[in-house]
Amino acid sequence: MPNGQWRTVSAWLLLSLTAGCARSYDHSIAVADCDGTKIEVIERYRQAAVSGHSLFSRYVLVVSPRRWWRKHKEIDITPVDTVDLAAMERTLPPAERWRQLAPHEKASRRVFVSPEEFSAGEYASISSCLERHVEEINRGFATPRPPVEYFEGDVFRVRWAGLRSIAYKPVVWTGNACHETNTSGFRFACADAPGFLSVDAHGYVLFCMPSYRDLVCGGAVGRISTDGRHAVVRSPDLRPRCAQGALTEWLDEDRMRFTEDCRLPSGHALTDLFELRESENLE
């Protein structure tokens, strides 16, 4: 057999063996039963054959109405936020019906219920049920599940972080936080500026230029503390090509202008939400 064919067959056999030995688990984390609606929190964990580490994990809420003729629906739970973003969540428009489910503790998740899939009445029922049962749900998240060796420590917080809040809005958390399609972050429009600020799930404040959506212009200009009470900020890096010209002109001599002039739709600026201090390293 020619060497090229042998390599192809070998690679195919290896992939087949790995796929064949990989195992998938559905771990039931908790079940909440509320007035005609059952909500089960499930971890869908795929274990690799060789390392044992997770290849892929998803976390979903399975909402099952008591009426047998109605199908259950699933809600994807967001990846963990590593900082408490409740200060900004409280500024969400009334139509998004934000509720805090539990205080932030090291890392936590937000639940977004899509208006395209659930009625306002269904959302009210789901959010009320989660609010009543969040303590037991979060205890379920924190209880070790097989494989337990891939559970403890911050590196595996994706498995043990519980729920923090819920909102009635669609969610897309893939892609750069500067992308307008990413709805899990928070976007600050800046008066007369050539770009805008975006805050991602890790608490980084990014300066985004419309013509450079795949890049962050000027790097991160701030970082929110884990407890969500203050933020360190620094002036944008004006060395990148995308930062030349309009951004430099907009900042003029006030390199921290973005902390006041960039505002959420609610009208809040960074200075309204956090205690600010200037820093060079954002640590």
191 shares a domain with 154: no
Domain of residue 106 covers 23-167
Q: Which pTM does this prediction carry?
A: 0.83
43 with 120, same domain? Answer: yes
- Domain membership of residue 14 (yes or no) is no
Residue 129 shares a structural domain with residue 193: no
pLDDT given at position 246:
82
Residues 148, 203, single domain; the answer is no
Confidence at residue 9, expressed as pLDDT on a 0 to 100 scale: 35
Residue 4 lies in a domain: no
Provide the sign of the torsion angle of the four alpha carbons 178, 226, 105, 268, taken in this order: negative
Q: Is residue 60 part of a domain?
A: yes
Residue 149 shares a structural domain with residue 211: no
The answer as to whether 15 is a domain residue is no
Any domain includes 179: no
Is residue 174 a part of any domain in this protein?
Answer: no
- Regarding whether 162 and 27 lie in a shared domain, the answer is yes
- pLDDT at site 65: 74
My answer on whether 96 and 137 are in the same domain is yes
Tens-binned pLDDT, residue by residue, of the chain (283 aa) = 444 443 433 333 333 334 445 577 789 999 999 887 899 999 988 766 555 555 567 899 999 876 654 678 899 998 889 899 999 999 999 999 999 999 988 779 999 999 999 999 999 999 999 999 999 999 999 999 888 888 888 888 888 999 999 999 988 887 788 887 888 889 999 988 888 999 988 899 999 887 766 677 878 999 999 999 999 999 988 877 777 788 888 888 888 999 999 999 999 999 999 999 998 888 6
Residues 45, 134, single domain; the answer is yes
Q: Which of 167, 198, 226 is the last residue of a domain?
A: 167
Residue 211 sits in the same domain as residue 133: no
Asked if the structure places residue 175 within a domain, the reply is no
69 & 152 share domain: yes
Q: How many domains does the chain have?
A: 2
235 and 131 within one domain: no
232/162 same-domain check:
no
Domain presence at residue 16: no
